[in-house]
Structure 1
Amino acid sequence: MKKSTQRRPTMTDIAKATGVSQSTVSLILNGAVGAKFSEGTRRNVLKAAQELGYQLPTRTTAPVAPGERNLIVYVADEISTSPHPVVNVDGARDAAWNNGCLLAVYSTHGNADIEQRVLHDALANPNVLGVIYATVYTRKVAVPAPLLKVPTVLLNCYSTDAVLSSVVPAEVTGGYTATEHLIAAGHRRIGFINGETWQDAAKDRLKGYRQALATADLPFDESLVRDGDWSSGKGYELTLSLMRVPNPPTAIFCGNDLTAIGAIEAVKQLGLRVPEDVSVIGYDDQEIARHTHPPLTTVVLPNYELGRWAVETLLQEEENRGAGAPFKRRTIKLDGPLIERGSVAPPRAGEPAPPARSAGDTLINILNE
């Protein structure tokens, strides 16, 4: 399966090299005032940036001329209900600032009336250069009519007629990467606990899982797939279910990190060990993935880079438009790297997972998403 590549080093690469979040990398490299990090963390991030050859773009220092358009309006349906949108905003804000622009962020809570008012008032500002229109879940959207009259890029969403350029995560590639990593470790019975299947992310991660199995000539076994809801509680419950099948998996790919946390707890509850008896891999690379026992191997959801690419695409299209250069709308799919930690190991000498003791009806108090 061919994967997309990014030639220049990114903040995601630095986060992977140092084991910190993309937001932490952004704050340190941008010299954020008031952000408190240990000297060791700061030093590691700066060293990794230097070794990878990463450089922040030169910021525009000249004063903005009267009437110059330098404001980018960022409209999101949700920001506070998930950790991901905030990192999208970080990437968009940094890209705007590094190109001499400011980012104004609005959250509509998915309310059509609020969205209409925001667009009406925000776009009345003569300094507006363009709009980033973002959604918390990757999905198809009906583009609001006002956005067809102003330069706009879609972030984490897309339109059927491709009337606007969009930047979305490469979820099929991510599902493939996670499953391929388990196969490379020697696993042949790989369970998959998905999220809510109506979401594009869940559908595409399942596609990636199936493609990786097919590429390795491994059969797809529907009995090893469970549909969850992205929560640790479901991850716990569905892992118990997977481990009760006659020939249980030796590894479990979880649709996100919270599900993986529940899976790890369930494996332990059954008297088994991660990764010695059962390997577990997550998706997203949330901050908590570094603090599980063992630390969680996971695939990065490149939220920071999605925000950055959205703004840079908007600015590039506006530059081409101003120069009269032709350009066509495009959909950019960004994949994130896999971060190896301690939750994946080869299966034991080609054996299936050892018998698990019954967990009965025991429930543990796990934080749900």
Structure 2
Amino acid sequence: MTKTKHEKPPRRVTMTDVARLAGCSQATVSFVLNNATGVKISAETRGKVIEAARSLGYGAASLIHRPLLKNIRSGSIGFLCDQLATSPEAVNAIEGARQACWEEGVTILVAQSMGNSDMEKKAVETMLRGGIDGLIYMTIFTRQVTPPEFLHDLPVPIVLLNCFSADHSFPSVVPDETAGGFDATNALIRLGHRRIATIIGEPFMSATQDRLKGYRKALAKAGIAYDADLVAEGNWSPTSGFEATQRFLALKERPTAFFCQNDRMASGCYNALRDAGLNIPQDVSVIGYDDDELCRHVRPQLSTLILPHRAMGAWAIGQLETMTPRTAQTYPLTKMDCNLIERASLAGTGQAVPAR
């Protein structure tokens, strides 16, 4: 297994940062920096956006590396995903791939298959007729897959994104969910919390299992006994987060902190805590997962872990650049860190402990 660790680099400058400095919307920044046609933007606004981007080092300070794509000759790469509309992860991965090759004039051709094997094959055949030089194969849920047989016979290199195969016949990249669960729980432990409840997602999912594994590892490392009463099953929805929190608050000794395995369940947790007359973070600390847009709109803003799908998309482009068409070899599974974003939903108990 290859571990890609972002060791506290300077925070990645985003379009949101540029928009804030330039005093305009993120959409305007995107239009200006991508030289969009058919959009009327004043010269003054364009100048402000460009100056803001330069002063912040937008692009240069990005975690996304832009390689020189010498081996991508046709100017196009295929991107096949089972689902596009269920969550922002697919869009983020596509955007990461786009940013990694945009300056070289490479086009990302995207198709959705809904997991249908016939549609997968048809979509890839259409992409091949369009002359793609590589294919990124993505699943929306992190999991082990059995790649369709036809992938092994394609004349272009292939990368698996957010999934992997048992035989490791393709380069693959996934989030390091176990490390993410550990980091979320450890952040609460460092603040002095000992009774940490966790609301997990659907238990059959790999992300759920690995985030729970990280939670348990952090507790064990801190010498805190695992308590099954502090683990509740949710289904990723706000309602399940609300109901699980109510059950926790009914315990004789209630938790002082909550680790919710996604931000939507955390929003339900917020509502249950407020209904109980508790203040965040003065009475209870809460941390989520995914860095959903809602994190910045709830009050207090929600601390969370960010899924690295943009960086994974860029990584996939870099792999395609260095690969040759199908050769008989195996590849290590690459895992990328889910970096912690601390906002206003965390507070110490007065018994904070040093970082371990």
TM-score (norm 2): 0.83
Matching of residues 80-91 of structure 1 within 5 Å? 80-91=85-96
**Contact residue 197 and residue 227 of structure 1 kept, 8 A:** yes
Matching of residues 355-366 of structure 1 within 5 Å? none
Partner of 1:13: 12
Q: What do you get for the CA RMSD once the two structures are aligned?
A: 3.7
2:84 aligned partner, one-letter code: I
Deviation of residue 278 (structure 1)?
0.8
**Contact residue 136 and residue 160 of structure 2 kept, 8 A:** yes
Matching of residues 96-107 of structure 1 within 5 Å? 96-107=101-112
Aligned equivalents of 2:52 and 2:245: distance in 1?
A: 37
Deviation of residue 95 (structure 1)?
1.6
Deviation of residue 40 (structure 1)?
9.0
Matching of residues 28-47 of structure 1 within 5 Å? 30-31=33-34, 33=36, 47=55
Q: Deviations over 1:114-151 (max 9, x none)?
A: 112112222234x2211100000001111112211231
What SS does structure 2 have at the residue aligned with 1:153? strand
Aligned equivalents of 1:207 and 1:90: distance in 2?
A: 30
**Contact residue 79 and residue 136 of structure 2 kept, 8 A:** yes
Q: Percent identity?
A: 35
Aligned equivalents of 2:283 and 2:253: distance in 1?
A: 14
Aligned equivalents of 1:164 and 1:299: distance in 2?
A: 27
Distance 1:208 1:7, change over 3 A: closer
Distance 1:114 1:286, change over 3 A: same
Partner of 1:124: 129
Aligned equivalents of 1:55 and 1:187: distance in 2?
A: 32
**Contact residue 198 and residue 258 of structure 2 kept, 8 A:** yes
Matching of residues 190-205 of structure 1 within 5 Å? 190-205=196-211
Matching of residues 1-369 of structure 1 within 5 Å? 4-6=4-6, 13-15=12-14, 18=17, 27=30, 30-31=33-34, 33=36, 47-49=55-57, 53-54=61-62, 68-125=73-130, 127-150=131-154, 151-318=157-324, 329-347=331-349
Deviation of residue 96 (structure 1)?
2.8
Aligned equivalents of 1:55 and 1:265: distance in 2?
A: 35
Distance 1:61 1:241, change over 3 A: closer
2:5 aligned partner, one-letter code: T
What SS does structure 2 have at the residue aligned with 1:104? strand
Distance 1:293 1:41, change over 3 A: farther
Aligned equivalents of 1:38 and 1:281: distance in 2?
A: 38
What SS does structure 2 have at the residue aligned with 1:128? coil
Aligned length: 338
Partner of 1:365: none
Partner of 1:364: none
- Comparing 211-220 with 28-37, which one deviates more in the overlay? 28-37
**Contact residue 284 and residue 299 of structure 1 kept, 8 A:** yes
What SS does structure 1 have at the residue aligned with 2:289? strand
Aligned equivalents of 1:5 and 1:59: distance in 2?
A: 19
1:5 aligned partner, one-letter code: K
**Contact residue 18 and residue 56 of structure 2 kept, 8 A:** no
What SS does structure 1 have at the residue aligned with 2:161? strand
Deviation of residue 44 (structure 1)?
6.5
Partner of 2:23: none
TM-score (norm 1): 0.80
What SS does structure 2 have at the residue aligned with 1:283? coil
Aligned equivalents of 2:123 and 2:202: distance in 1?
A: 30
Distance 1:111 1:50, change over 3 A: closer
1:130 aligned partner, one-letter code: G
Aligned equivalents of 2:278 and 2:47: distance in 1?
A: 38
Q: Deviations over 1:299-339 (max 9, x none)?
A: 11112111111111121223xx79x9x98512111112211
Aligned equivalents of 2:218 and 2:16: distance in 1?
A: 25
What SS does structure 1 have at the residue aligned with 2:346? coil
Aligned equivalents of 1:262 and 1:254: distance in 2?
A: 10
Deviation of residue 209 (structure 1)?
0.5
Unmatched tracts of structure 1, length 5 or more: 351-369
Aligned equivalents of 1:118 and 1:89: distance in 2?
A: 17
**Contact residue 193 and residue 254 of structure 1 kept, 8 A:** yes
